[in-house]
Amino acid sequence: MILSLLIVCLASAALLSYVYTVTTPIIEEGIEEKLDEQLREVFPIAHSFSYYIIVEGDTLLKDTLWAALDSTGNRIGILFKVFPKGYGGPIETLVGLATDTTIVTIRPATPSEGLKETPGLGVKITEAFFLDQFSCKKLEEIRLKSYGGTIDAITAATISSRAVTDGVRKGIEKFSTYLHYE
C-alpha cells in the first residue's frame, strides 16, 4: 500500500515537473508578446523598445519603464506603468511620453487584465472618449476640470477618473527624468 502511494506520488511529481518545464517558456513568450502589443498600442510610431531596470530601495521594479526607439535606435520617448488606487483597487496604467514631455497616449488595464473598477461606471476609463483626452497634453494640463485641468471626469466614476489622472501626472513627474537618461 505504501509502496503504491510512493510510486504514484513520484510519478505525479515527475509529470508535474515535466509539464512545468515545457509550459513555462511558452507562457513567458505569450506574456512578452502581449506586453509588446500593449507597448505598440501606446507608442505606435516606435520601432522598438528597450526596458530599464529600476531599483527603489530594496525593490526591483521590472516591467515599469521602457525607452521608445526609432528605426535608428534614437530615443523618441518613454513608456511607464503607474498603479494609482481607484475605487476597486489599483488601476494599472501604461503611459507613453514623447521627448518633449507630451503624452502620446495612455492605456489602462482592461477588466480581463485585472481592472476591478465598477462595471458600467469605473470601467469607462478604458473607453476612447476618456482616454483621448490625454493625448498631446502636457503635465500641467493633466488634472480633472474641477481641479483646474483639461480632463473631463466620467459621471458617477469620479474616483476612477481622478485616480487615472493623478496617476498619470505623478508618473510623469517621477519618470520624465528618464527621457534624456542613457
Residue 132 domain-assigned (yes or no)? yes
Tens-digit pLDDT profile for residues 145-172: 999 999 999 988 889 999 999 999 999 9
With beta carbons less than 8 A apart as the criterion, state whether 78 and 97 touch.
yes
Task: Please enumerate, as own/partner, the contacts of 31-39 that have beta carbons within 8 Å and a separation of 24 or more.
Answer: 35/63, 38/94, 38/107, 39/66, 39/68, 39/79, 39/94
Residue 74 domain-assigned (yes or no)? yes
Residue 87 domain-assigned (yes or no)? yes
Residue 122 domain-assigned (yes or no)? yes
With beta carbons less than 8 A apart as the criterion, state whether 49 and 153 touch.
no
Which pLDDT does position 60 carry in this prediction? 66
State how far the Cα of 144 lies from the Cα of 162, in Å rounded to an integer: 7
Which pLDDT does position 181 carry in this prediction? 65
Residue 98 domain-assigned (yes or no)? yes
Residue 36 domain-assigned (yes or no)? no
Whole-prediction pTM value? 0.82
CA dist 172 → 5, 21, 167 (Å): 58, 39, 9
Which residues span the domain enclosing 159? 43-180
State how far the Cα of 7 lies from the Cα of 52, in Å rounded to an integer: 47
With beta carbons less than 8 A apart as the criterion, state whether 123 and 129 touch.
no
Residue 6 domain-assigned (yes or no)? no
Number of domains present in the structure of the chain: 1
Which pLDDT does position 110 carry in this prediction? 86
With beta carbons less than 8 A apart as the criterion, state whether 66 and 49 touch.
yes
Residue 7 domain-assigned (yes or no)? no
Radius of gyration over every alpha carbon of the chain, rounded to an integer in angstroms: 21
Q: Which residues of the chain have pLDDT under 50?
A: none
CA angle 119, 87, 137 (to 5 degrees): 90
